[in-house]
A = this chain, B = another copy of it.
Amino acid sequence: MKRIAIDMDEVIADFNSKMIPIFNTRFNTQISLADLEGVTIQQLRPDIKEQVEAMIGEAGFFADLAVIPHSQRVIKKLTETYEVFITTAAMEFPLSFDAKFRWLAEHFPFISPMNIVFCGNKSILNADYLIDDNARHFEHFSGEGILFSAPHNKQVRGFRRVNNWLEIESMFSL
């Protein structure tokens, strides 16, 4: 059975829709999704990088993110033919462990907790595919990286790209 590893933030969990309004309120700014084209929020505002990371790193930040459209249905279908792991780089925000674990239990109850992986360096993953919005994780990954479109990765070339979960559904002929 082939194995698919799937990232969380900006792939199945809608990070930006929560982050942007909180960011604007806290830092009295008016950024929009379009401002994040080609950059992360930390790259957009390096002057307040530490405060931004502290904001994202607060316990519970990840608890109530919206689910990316169609990800639940398509991943459930994937589990019929593939071994599916959720693989998230939670190590950058240690207080996010608990919230991320509970979020997955709530929105993806059909994924066994045994198939959840919190890691930093994703080259440790033994999988055939990795669906991720950060191309840096593909560099030393043993399988094939599939880049999930997000504003920050719009200019990234050299990888198979999908724009949404309907394209993944079609790619894997589900």
Contact = CB atoms under 8 A, between A and B. Distances in A.
Given A120-B116, A124-B125, A126-B125, A94 B101 contact: yes
Contact of A91 (B113, B121, B124): B113
B117 A124 contact: yes
Number of this chain's copies in the complex: 2
B119 A91 contact: no
Given A94-B101, A97-B101, A114 B120 contact: yes
A72 interface: no
B95 A98 contact: yes
Interface of A: 3, 5, 85, 87, 90-92, 94-95, 97-98, 101-102, 112-121, 123-127, 142
